[in-house]
Structure 1
């Protein structure tokens, strides 16, 4: 089923609405693949830092909302969160046949023309106004806290209301599909995000695997503190890769078998995975790229058994799950792993990771958009039949 297209056009006019473009992270990698599917697409966003964007993104027309023209928006765009709903609704997308919104920050609330198709790829409903709201609120105080609380309250109502502007949701994991159903009472297709694993490969046979590994930003919800506590007193070595606000606190009482490496260079990370006995992954993530990087190197993953990791890690074959976010549960998982629980074939682990490549994303996302177009056509045909009294 072709995407609905205005008369006189040979291909649909496509708008991709992405929350903000200030760094090249997972959401921007998804955007790059969307642009490969729809090379004619135009990009709309609240703010863009062109110096940090890839050539593939910069090759397309980019329109900022008025938020991008406000003082300090490139660095402090979060301060303008309360203005973003209005900014989205002021975008003129009437001439577009297909609207793709890429949602982690406000994006899906745009207003399209009647008859256009709107598909929302949800990295996550806005966690800072929903399940992570207490964490973000704690980071503020005084008037800033009062402003954030008021803004979050308004955004929640707007977020739920604007779900009706979306014809079809596509979630990046079953975990996010469940959240979409809980918050918006809408079903969602699941298309896992593209993971470029070209730099991550199996090590030479017989190479050493002499440490456990934790790779993440050192921020509270990633739970590096629990991993370090779990290794206190264990005979195994733990390497912690990453930087962040929690580093100073973690350094204050570091066990002798734990080393903080800081931020690793991209070229060094594959070797760390290849020499690791296992990756420790204690966070509840929407999807989780790091486990797949480790698995591409044949490295098992010991993970908290909630969130997007349930879509990528197979318990007992590519990793082990632990039941709660606690040092005791992590320690028990390490002890189970050391005792030989599970059958971990590096070749099979790497094959599982390769299922999540960019080619698969482009195929599955394009198919989801096609299904949405078919569903829209059926609804329009049913309305037309009803309007002329055909039974």
Structure 2
């Protein structure tokens, strides 16, 4: 109740006679990953909040939001929208600006796909939690265009300038930005010319456990896409004769399998219980790609396992070199081989309980306390 009173006192006299109305705007609800875990925590902080999104899979929305009604844009009416949502990017600015947020005192947007472009009422506060500026419009635009069909490719080529301008202008309407890592804060400054506070996203660290004994394999998890650089993990482990376990699937699975040898095991999609065991029993977790934050390495550390990470992006916020893992500067198989050999030469100094204690600093409770305190200061 103290939080409600505090917020009321700051938002204005019109809101002072009623509880503040909070809207949470997420880009789309078609699966549950790191971005959706942030929404889950926002609903813990503001249980009376309403949720809005461009497109929602009903099952995903129900699992994340319970019985709460989720407002969607007119893109929801397009047949197959939940399957081809990324291809609808040229239509999203108009769809966002048509979401009706009248009457809300606080709007929190969760941005990776477009969300911050909503139009908020006069006098309302708009806080954007930014997982990353939209890569489809900026650094990954060539890849997005290449993978799209002919019509979307033509539209994106014709509209990219306008979409980037809209993205930049919509950032100017945000009252305050929060980035999920210092790496993302720098990208916000680069693309939007805005400063951002940094609050790491929530990780359910308490759901992971230490193993009684470690087995002889290295681990990499996640979707099989190019920026993860799973190819480097395969090349390094095959070259050194080390066992590598790869979970998950993705568009690059077949090419990665063709690249691998007898030391590499693809286990595909696995249950959460199986994933926890893979984390806990691995010699170390490999992170050769550059991540905006990187939930998986924190989950590995919550399991007491060191992380061997490329020294760029979110890894610089999560991995303490020599304590919770090893950072390497060269993003190549040679660089990862060197990190593996350095790790093996000094593996005795990595204490599982200390690594897990470090990971506890990224808990869900920590995120919720820090984010609420930030919003209260802004309002």
TM-score by length of 2: 0.93
Aligned counterpart in structure 2 of residue 15 of structure 1, from 23, 27, 30: 23
The 1-side partners of 2:280 and 2:64 are apart by 30
Contact 2:231-2:259 within 8 A present in 1 as well: no
Is the Cα–Cα contact under 8 Å of residues 81 and 151 in structure 1 kept in the other structure?
Answer: no
Instruction: Look up the match of 1:268.
Output: 274
| Match of residue 137, structure 1, among 145, 159, 170 | 145
More helix by percentage: 2
2:126 counterpart of 1:97: no
Deviation at 1:129, TM superposition (A): 1.1
2:136 counterpart of 1:128: yes
Which residue matches 1:350?
Answer: 356
* Structure 2 Cα separation of the partners of residues 122 and 155 of structure 1: 18
Quick one: distance in 1 between partners of 2:120 and 2:258?
53
Distance 2:347 2:305 in 1: 15
| Number of the residue aligned with 2:156 | 148
Q: Does 1:57 align with 2:59?
A: no
1:341 shift after superposition: 6.9
1:165 matched to 2:207? The reply is no
SS of aligned partner of 2:240: coil
- The residue number in structure 1 matching 2:203 is 195
Query: Residue 362 of structure 2: SS of its match in structure 1?
Result: coil
Structure 1 residue 140, shift from structure 2 partner = 3.2
The worse-fitting range, judged by mean Cα deviation, of 274-283 and 249-258 is 249-258
- Aligned counterparts of 2:160 and 2:45: Cα–Cα separation in 1: 34
- Cα pair 2:209 2:302 within 8 Å, conserved: yes
8 Å contact from structure 1 (residues 212, 277) kept in 2: yes
Partner residue, 2:11: 4
Distance 1:295 1:8, change over 3 A: closer
Q: Unpaired runs of 5+ in structure 2? A: 1-5
Cα separation, partners in 2 of 1:97 and 1:180, compared to 1, 3 Å: same
Give the drift of 1:31. 0.5
Q: CA deviation at 1:227?
A: 1.0
Using the size of structure 1 for normalisation, the TM-score is 0.91
Match runs of 1:274-289 below 5 Å: 274-289=280-295
Question: Is there any run of 5+ residues in structure 1 with no aligned partner, and where?
Answer: 374-391
| Whole-Å separation in 1 of the counterparts to 2:143 and 2:330 | 19
Name the residue aligned to 1:248. Answer: 254
Q: Indicate conservation of the 8 Å contact 1:292/1:353, yes or no.
A: yes
Task: Classify the secondary structure of the residue corresponding to 1:119.
Answer: strand
1:45–1:64 Cα contact (<8 Å) kept: yes
Q: Distance in 1 between matches of 2:330 and 2:162?
A: 33
Which piece of structure 1 moves more, 332-341 or 285-294?
332-341
Rg larger in structure: 1
Q: Secondary structure at 1:178's aligned position in 2?
A: helix
Matched, 1:41 2:46: no
For residues 155-190 of structure 1, the C-alpha deviation after alignment (integer angstroms, 9 at most, x for no partner) is: 211000111110000111111111111111111111
- The count of residues paired between Structure 1 and Structure 2 equals 371
Q: Which residue pairs with 1:387 in the alignment?
A: none
Q: For residues 240 and 171 of structure 1, what CA distance do their matches in structure 2 show? A: 29
User: 2:34 & 2:265 partners in 1: Cα distance?
Assistant: 27
Offset of 1:193 from its aligned partner? 0.7
Secondary structure (helix, strand or coil) at the match of 1:23 reads coil
Instruction: Specify the alignment match of 2:338 in structure 1.
Output: 332
Q: 1:342 offset after TM fit, Å? A: 8.4
C-alpha distance in 2, partners of 1:53/1:17? 13
Instruction: Report deviation, 1:75.
Output: 1.7
Alignment deviations for residues 88-137 of structure 1 (CA, whole Å, 9 cap, x no partner): 11222231110111111111111112211110010111011111112222
1:222 aligns with 2:228: yes
Structure 2 Cα separation of the partners of residues 245 and 330 of structure 1: 23
Cα distance in 2 for partners of 1:7, 1:54 equals 30
* 8 Å contact from structure 1 (residues 281, 304) kept in 2: yes
Q: For the Cα contact (< 8 Å) 2:15–2:105, is it kept in 1?
A: no
Q: What SS class does the counterpart of residue 84 from structure 1 fall into?
A: helix
- In the alignment, is the contact (CA less than 8 A) between 1:89 and 1:109 conserved in 2? yes
**Per-residue deviation, 1:141:** 5.7
Distance 1:264 1:275 in 2: 15
Q: Retained in 1: the 8 A contact 2:292–2:314?
A: yes
